[in-house]
Amino acid sequence: MRITQEADYAVRIIYFLSRDGKKSDAKSISEAIGVTTRFSLKILRKLTQAGYIKSFKGASGGYMLQKPANEITLHDVITLIDGPIEINKCLRADFDCTRMDDKNCCPFHIFFEQLSADIAGRLSEVTFADVD
């Protein structure tokens, strides 16, 4: 499993907004996290649609957290962008394992499934209020 660059930037955007505590425009956010304004706007749109941040239009517009930082987990943001935590493609619903007999999963599938659940569980325990 690899967290995409987009998910990494989404985490950094939420972190930036949680530390600042006030409205920030897209340009300031982009500069703070080191990404183009265009790419940050794409991520900001997803975070807004998911209800994690709120956008304000107009000359004094910008973005700020809509939910408190202690109610947003790393798991929330990463899975919003990247989808479910799956460390191997065999865990995807659309994957047909060729190493499986009629009745049993291969032993690696079971191991990878538990490992993915452990990672997801740990990411669910960490809120943006916890990160310093």
- For residue range 57-98, list pLDDT tens digits in order: 988 899 999 999 999 999 999 999 999 887 765 555 555 666
What average pLDDT does this structure show over 112-128? Answer: 91
Number of domains in the chain: 1
Asked if the structure places residue 34 within a domain, the reply is yes
Domain hosting 34: range is: 5-125
Is 131 inside a domain boundary?
no
Gap between the Cα atoms of 110 and 3, Å rounded: 22
47 inside domain: yes
Distance (Å, whole) CA 37 – CA 110: 42
Q: Is residue 43 part of a domain?
A: yes
d(CA 120, CA 107): 20
- CATH number at 119 reads 1.10.10.10
* 10-60 pLDDT tens trace: 999 999 999 978 899 999 999 999 999 999 999 999 999 999 999 999 888
> Contact at 8 Å (CB) between 59 and 25?
no
- Whole-model pTM: value is 0.85
Which residues, listed in sequence order, are joined to residue 53 by a DSSP beta bridge?
65
Four-CA torsion 15, 80, 33, 37, nearest 10 degrees: -130
